[in-house]
Amino acid sequence: MTRRCADTAPLALDEAPRSHVLHPGDVVCADRGERLETLLGSCVAVLLTDPRRTVGAMCHIVHPAGLPGGDTAFAAPALERMNALLLMRAIVPRLCHAWVIGGGNMFPGRYDAGHVGDANARWVLQALHDDGVWVLGQDLGGPRYRRVRWTVGSEGPQVSAVEMAK
């Protein structure tokens, strides 16, 4: 099953900026001024933008790896879909800048390392490295949930973390 993937058309001059709330497996491409947001636990969000910050894309990854062309809850199909959406706007993904957020340990009493959040983060960082994408920043790991909000433009994403009770 392929998750919902959105490609948004540019805004008309009299339209208010759009806001996109991503759920697990979603992939969205947006224009400057549009807002992208999601809530993460062990999942990882990848945000890509062109160096001029005119276009941004975000995906909400649930599982590492996956098969090309498959369910975008998996990292490989999510990145593949995000790259396709960027290419449709004439943005070369390997020239983009990235932020990687999430990969929390949702069961710290059971796992110190080797949890699904850690696997998600490692896989994504390696894939971006292999693709030559420059990672501007990351907020990964730890026993916390994260809320990510990003308005496509010159500023980076806003991340607020909620520590889990021990």
pLDDT of residue 113: 73
**Interval 3-46: pLDDT, tens:** 444 444 554 556 667 899 999 999 999 999 999 999 999 999 99
Q: Does 67 have pLDDT greater than 90?
A: no
Model's pTM, two decimal places?
A: 0.87
Q: Does 66 have pLDDT greater than 80?
A: yes
Q: Does 152 have pLDDT greater than 50?
A: yes
Burial of residue 34 (CB within 10 Å: 0-12, 13-18, 19+) is buried
For residue 58, give the nearest of 103, 7, 12 by alpha carbon: 7
Using CA atoms, how far apart are residues 46 and 165, in angstroms rounded to an integer?
26
Domain boundaries, the chain: 23-144
For residue 59, give the nearest of 30, 88, 87 by alpha carbon: 30
Torsion sign (Cα): 150, 49, 117, 2: positive
pLDDT of residue 136: 97
CATH class, 23-144 region: alpha beta
